Amino acid sequence: MLPQAKSNLKSVLNNDDVYDEAASEAFPVYNKSHMICLEMPGRFGDVLVTSYGELQGNEYLDPKTAQVAIVDHVKQVCTEVRPATDEELPTPYVEEYRCALEAEMLKYVSEAYPKGSCSVYCINGKDVEGPGYDFELVAVISAARLSPQNFCTGSWRSIWNIECKDDIQVLELKGKLQVGAHYFEEGNVQLDAKHECRDSTMFQSPDDGAIAIASLIRHHETEYLASLEASYLNLPDATFKDLRRKLPVTRTLFPWHSTSQFNLTREISKELGIGK
């Protein structure tokens, strides 16, 4: 949330106690749903605030560094960091798969989302010790660009659940993609687009499974962004026109192909009898 928005909200409430109580409930929900990225103290890097990395209280696991960040949700900062315990981390067998996928995802995100961050978590089966048992990973990507001086913000969030069916060497993929944009110069225009998809692939080792999954994610996200771009290019000629009623009160179709024949001033003058 932009600092100015916080300040405006506090001014409207005009009551610090009410603001503090509301903020303590609302900000954790906002931060997790928007998967905000915060810098950890001590040069440990960044941590994504997500429900997948949430431990207890305001603690969030960063799988890349095996550190746990303590987060102040209202100030949106990490106040301290501690090492993760063995119980909070997956087994070495699962970690090999998780690390391989994370390495491929970091390559992809650095190319596709210059302002983006990603993390890969084990959300089921983190105690699996060897082959033959299923476990589940989730890869999350979060990218945001805030430009309040230009009256616009934009965000991308994608969540990819990967079921590793180790006994049959199949990876099943489920993706949830969300794009947001907000333009507020002399108005208020918002975009909130969502998309879901599924796919699957075979694997034989952590490395080839990671490469296959990253390739599928790249394909689906690129395809979705291309479809969004195509639909917005058609907005002036299709969507905006469809917002009008099919026939105006004159019961005559509006001649979109030739609008030069209309002169708004002349038509209004004629209707009001001005200049006669």
Residue 276: inside a domain, yes or no? no
Residue 275: inside a domain, yes or no? no
Q: pLDDT of 81-117, one tens digit each?
A: 999 999 999 999 999 999 999 999 999 999 999 889 9
Split into its structural domains, the chain has a count of: 2
Q: Are residues 71 and 105 in the same domain?
A: no
Reported pTM:
0.80
Amino acid identity for residue 134 in this structure: D
**In which element (H, E) is residue 31 found?**
helix 16-33
The rounded distance, in Å, linking the Cα atoms of 106 and 116 is 10
The rounded distance, in Å, linking the Cα atoms of 204 and 274 is 82
Kindly report the backbone phi and psi dihedral angles of residue 115, in degrees, each rounded to the nearest multiple of 5, phi listed first.
Answer: -100, 15
Q: How confident is the model at residue 237 (pLDDT cuts 50, 70, 90)?
A: low
Q: Are residues 8 and 134 in the same domain?
A: no
Give residue 44's Cα distance to chain centre.
23
Q: Are residues 7 and 84 in the same domain?
A: yes
Q: How many residues does the chain have?
A: 276
Say which CATH number the domain at 179 has: 3.90.1150.210
Q: Is 154 exposed, middle or buried (0-12, 13-18, 19+ CB in 10 A)?
A: middle
At 25 the pLDDT is 86
Residue 169: inside a domain, yes or no? yes
Say which CATH number the domain at 10 has: 3.30.1140.60
Residue 213: inside a domain, yes or no? yes
Question: By residue range, what is the domain housing residue 31?
Answer: 1-88
Q: pLDDT of 55-84, one tens digit each?
A: 988 999 999 999 999 999 999 999 999 999
Q: What is the DSSP letter of 176?
A: E
Q: Are residues 123 and 217 in the same domain?
A: yes
Cβ proximity of 9 and 19 under 8 Å: yes
Q: In what order do the strands lie in the sheet with 67-72?
A: 59-62, 67-72, 77-83
Beta strand pairing call for 152-165 and 116-124: unpaired
Q: Are residues 7 and 58 in the same domain?
A: yes
